[in-house]
A and B are shown apart, each in its own frame.
Chain A
Amino acid sequence: MKRPVGVLRFLGTNCDADILQAYEWLGCEAKYIWWADHFKIEDYCGFILPGGFSYGDYLRCGALAAHAPAMSDVRVAAEKGYPVLGICNGFQILCEAALLPGALTKNLSRQFQDQWVEVKSNLTGICKWDGKKNFKYKLPIAHSMGRFIAPGDVLKSLEDKNQIWLTYTKNPNGAMLDIAGICNVTGNVAALMPHPERAMKDWMGSSDGAHILGKLNS
């Protein structure tokens, strides 16, 4: 039997149920993992850190969640090559946990932005969560701290090692190099600011998100 997807639940996570729903639509089992619990890595086929406002975004977005007990197991899973995906706040958490480089800062507009964007996947990218190479995904964003930044050498390294997964075709938040999503050097740990779980059905406006979340099912 196929193992379920593990969906991390921190205090203040609010897209957790949406991820469960998305996997139900994909015909794949998904289970919550509570932030305070340690878990058996082998029980899952991969891990998702959903969006939301973990710990109310207090201190810094994702900073507190990055130190939750369950995250130490996620770290081991990441090292072992398990697929790990952070979405929105999940991206911020993975950066704070140093599982991904860079940081997410206030949008240039200085406002929360809810809008649809187009993000293009890198033709030569190594991201294992990418459903389609060189593809333009239509997905919604909803964040105020979504501007990706990193020092010049880190950006260069991301480029050189093909870790840039997704770039905005029209940059909404001032992210450096138009970055919407990146992955680690081995490609198994990835994150993006847009919400694939909100683009699962045509009635939502797009079903492109299924190409990303569906990677765990393929």
Chain B
Amino acid sequence: MRGYALGESHLTSFDRQFEALCRVQRPDRYRLLDALPTDVPRIPRGGGVSYVAASFGAGGVSQELGAFDRLLAFDEAAGRLTVEAGARIGDVQRFLLARGWYLAVAPGHPRASIGGCIAADVHGKNPARDGTFRSQVEAMELHAPLRGTVVASRQRNPELFEASCGGLGLTGSIARVRLKLARPPSGLVMRRVPVTSLAEAAAVLRESANARVLYGWHDGRARAFGRGVVWVGLSSDRAEGAVEDMPPRDADLPATVRALPFEVWNRAGIAAANGWLGWRWRRAGQSPESLAAALFPLNRARVYFAGFGKAGMAEAQWLVPHRRFDAFAEALADEVARSRPRITLIASKLFAGRAAGLSFDGNGVALAIQLAAPREAPQQRFLEALAGLALAHEGRPNLIKDSSLDGEVARRGIAGFDTARGQLAAHNPGGLHGSELSRRLGL
């Protein structure tokens, strides 16, 4: 029957660590959302840009929701937007910025869907100031075959609302969302603060908690471990973030970056890149930055991702409480000196939220560590050692970024993991919604 026409596609996670031939449905009308037989396992798929295989898996049907990308209502006075969940965050920001609003919390990839941002409860450019994506979600409408259509908000079906924020798509297909908007700055000035270590970076981050944009970039090589720069983005009256600076949709980073036939990020490539970035950035100063560039930094990283080649990459992201962070950073430096992994970059961010469910939030400093060739044995050993160190320092893992995590590590790293899993199961009768990610984590 055409109503639930299924095609087959090779789907790959953004980090290239998982690939599967999957059955894919592309509903383009509301009635087709419910056209699949009720016993068919499924998972909603938005932009298909999650680092891990969150929107597909062997055996189930991926429901691609790209056709549900329409703007439904915009209250310009109150700053509220109702939108279908398949809308791309880049498109939404383009629309809003032209009208004097924006979403303060947005991931770096402009093709991420609004529904995906909720399911992953992504963070933006300064989670300590703005929280995670859930902070700007007021209500959502979810479809699930056995439950029908349900509206969830903090007042109405609050348990379903909480479970769906960071619920990895397991509570059903998010169809519509009402979002709370913020006023964008006229422009940004990016102040560079050079640091010589991760501990020093953490101190700078803490001192700048209210900045619009706040993150660090660090060298991950043993000989210069932690050296880098913290970017502090401050509001500026100068209109450097002019709307016309928003790149057109066609300029957005593609969902799948074509890999170069060779690997750029060998030791020489990593050394060259770090040397160049260090020369360019590692001096105090400041410069104007367009808001568009600050919102979607991955648009400038196409070559970087292509450079991982067909082997792909891994990103391990851990949030460590403040009181344990310096010790963690020191232990990590020792581990890097010992095992000399091929780390392409380390990014640091400040968090000041409340850990809820499976979301990546809490109070501390997060490190995102990206590695080349993650299937090579030394790299895998480093990832295991990193997980051990992070767990020993009360670190919390980011499930939506790290393909190397298993259920046991997730359980140890996330307080209340079993409770969150139970809540998801309560909203996912029969385990109808599932992905490779949920299978790997035992959700």
Partners in one complex: no
Chain B interface residues toward A at CB < 8 A? none
